[in-house]
């Protein structure tokens, strides 16, 4: 259970980081897949199955495969406790790969947000050329909601609004200094929504950065000492130092339930709904 829940905690961080990565960098396609290909139950089952397969088969069957036990009768630790090769492979899958993955996701999230900020503050939509998108999708691309022109074209082609309601123009994107028109009203409303989306994505990126940094700080000492200890058969690492890093690893799993609500309002509301349903109902009714 110790190995299982700690590994599942790490894999859950990767899953949440990947979900936020898609939400920020591929917003339109991410929303389109909700309810079609995305199933949280399936994702959680896969996480726990992978966490089980990483360590539990070795814990359960190592002695039977090896033919003998290397653990003393009065001790309680895994058979692979001093097996350097297995520990290196397992820690790579449990710590190094997840750390690199969440770092990659967060770097791309920050890069995407910075690019959208630069576009929103320094660029205007270019005049449409032959075969180009409408001014509406020009705005969408400028704000970063579409990751590529092809994604904007796909969204445009899937629209079912009547042709007379199309806001395509043969001139450049409308300027904010123009007179009030339906196009300008849409532009102002759209800009407000995109600014709100950008602020929300900033908060998500900051919360993920905090969670990932805490994860790295809590897991790195234990992982490195575990590999070193396995390589030297436990003779080069003092047992008390190893125990300290072990407790530091456990602390990470204890901190996560507090970090998520503190860093993200949706997690905070979810915890409130479970732990304080009356307060949640009152807050929800007061918001409408």
What are the structural domains, with CATH classification, of the chain? 2-124+175-287 (1.20.1070.10)
81 DSSP 8-state letter: T
User: What number of CA atoms fall less than 13 Å from residue 232's CA on the CB side?
Assistant: 11
Compute the mean pLDDT over every residue in the chain, rounded to the nearest whole number.
74
pLDDT tens by residue, 96-142: 999 999 999 988 888 887 787 777 655 444 444 444 444 454 555 54
> Which residue in 174, 195, 151 sits closest to 28, CA to CA?
151
When pLDDT is cut at 50, 70 and 90, the band that residue 83 belongs to is: confident
Tokens of 145: 């909601």
CA triple 5-11-17, angle to 5 deg: 140
Q: Token pair of 73, please?
A: 């009768």
| CA atoms of 256 and 214, how far apart (whole Å) | 9
In this prediction, residues 160-169 reach a mean pLDDT of 44
Mean pLDDT computed over 73-79: 82
* CA atoms lying within 13 Å on the CB side of residue 43: 12
Q: Is 47's pLDDT higher than 70?
A: yes
Kindly state the average pLDDT of the residues 38-42.
Answer: 77
Query: Does the predicted TM-score (pTM) go above 0.75?
Result: no
Task: State mean pLDDT over 26-50.
Answer: 77
pLDDT of residue 78: 85
Q: What average pLDDT does this structure show over 18-32?
A: 78
Q: How far apart are CA 31 and CA 11, in angstroms?
A: 23
The 8-class DSSP code of residue 148 comes to S
Distance CA 42, CA 58 (A): 25
């Amino acid at each position: 259970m110790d190995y299982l829940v700690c590994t599942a905690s790490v894999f859950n961080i990767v899953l949440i980081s990947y979900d936020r990565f898609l939400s920020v960098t591929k917003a339109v396609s991410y929303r389109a897949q909700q309810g079609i290909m995305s199933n949280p139950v399936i994702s959680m089952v896969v996480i726990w199955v992978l966490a089980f397969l990483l360590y539990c088969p070795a814990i359960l069957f190592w002695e039977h495969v090896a033919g003998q036990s290397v653990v003393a009768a009065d001790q309680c630790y895994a058979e692979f406790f001093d097996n350097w090769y297995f520990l290196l492979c397992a820690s790579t899958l449990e710590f190094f790969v997840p750390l690199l993955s969440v770092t990659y996701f967060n770097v791309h999230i920050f890069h995407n947000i910075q690019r959208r900020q630069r576009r929103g503050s320094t660029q205007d939509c270019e005049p449409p050329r032959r075969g180009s998108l409408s001014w509406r999708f020009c705005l969408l691309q400028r704000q970063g909601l579409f990751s590529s022109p092809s994604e904007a074209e796909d969204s445009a082609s899937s629209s079912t609004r009547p042709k007379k309601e199309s806001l395509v123009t043969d001139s450049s994107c409308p300027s904010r200094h123009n007179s009030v028109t339906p196009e300008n009203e849409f532009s102002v409303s759209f800009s407000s929504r995109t600014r709100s989306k950008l602020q929300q994505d900033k908060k998500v990126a900051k919360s993920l950065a905090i969670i990932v940094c805490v994860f790295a700080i809590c897991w790195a000492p234990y992982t490195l000492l575990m590999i070193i200890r396995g390589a030297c058969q436990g003779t080069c690492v003092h047992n008390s130092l190893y125990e300290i890093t072990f407790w530091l690893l456990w602390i990470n799993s204890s901190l996560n339930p507090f970090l998520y609500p503190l860093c993200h309002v949706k997690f905070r509301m979810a915890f409130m709904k479970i732990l304080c349903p009356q307060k949640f109902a009152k807050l929800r009714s007061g918001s409408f």
